[in-house]
Structure 1
Amino acid sequence: MLVVDPHHWLDENGFYPTEALQLWKKLDRIGLFVSSGCDLQPLHGRPTVAKCKARNCGCSMFVARTGDDHLLAFCPICRKEEMLISNWRDTFWAEDRLSSEVVFQ
């Protein structure tokens, strides 16, 4: 299992680092899990558009909010890919998602 705090990989302003382009794909995946799971209630989960990277799997990854306010991304089929994300609340992925609701009348 990968245990990650996104702030360890983001720059001092909370954005993608310009000097470490190799991290961008990993940050995109973390951001997808954060934006998919940030509005969940504790102990709830949902499928995401991300696919499991394990060989011969390709199942849709799920994200769940744990009881201690982490986000857990996992493959429900093979269980070979897991990511535990901490300190996600003040990332731009969560802030954008939580403030993006539009009401249509």
Structure 2
Amino acid sequence: MIEDAEGRADAFFHALADRTRRDILRRVLAGEHSVTQLAANYDMSFAAVQKHVAVLERAGLLTKRRHGREQLASGDVDAVRSVASMLSELEGVWRGRIDRIDSFLQEG
């Protein structure tokens, strides 16, 4: 997993930039799924789904564990909250900028 905050943010947003990965994340946040179960939901190879799961895992958004021959994936709610916190912080920056622009326009 990535240690510095900027690297972690890059990994989060890279992982979430893909529609399939967002869907996988929604599924594993709702409950633990085997990678095989996840792969059955997509029109792509098992190996392609494994790669998507690996990107989410490297970003820290999900964890995997072995149960016999299966790999079980679970979403990390704390990591998702961390992403939400980053987005809230960015929203605050932009709202501040918009407020300053509004003030400037009202003065002019």
Q: Same fold (TM over 0.5)?
A: no
Q: Which has the larger radius of gyration?
A: 2
Report the TM-score when normalising by structure 1: 0.31
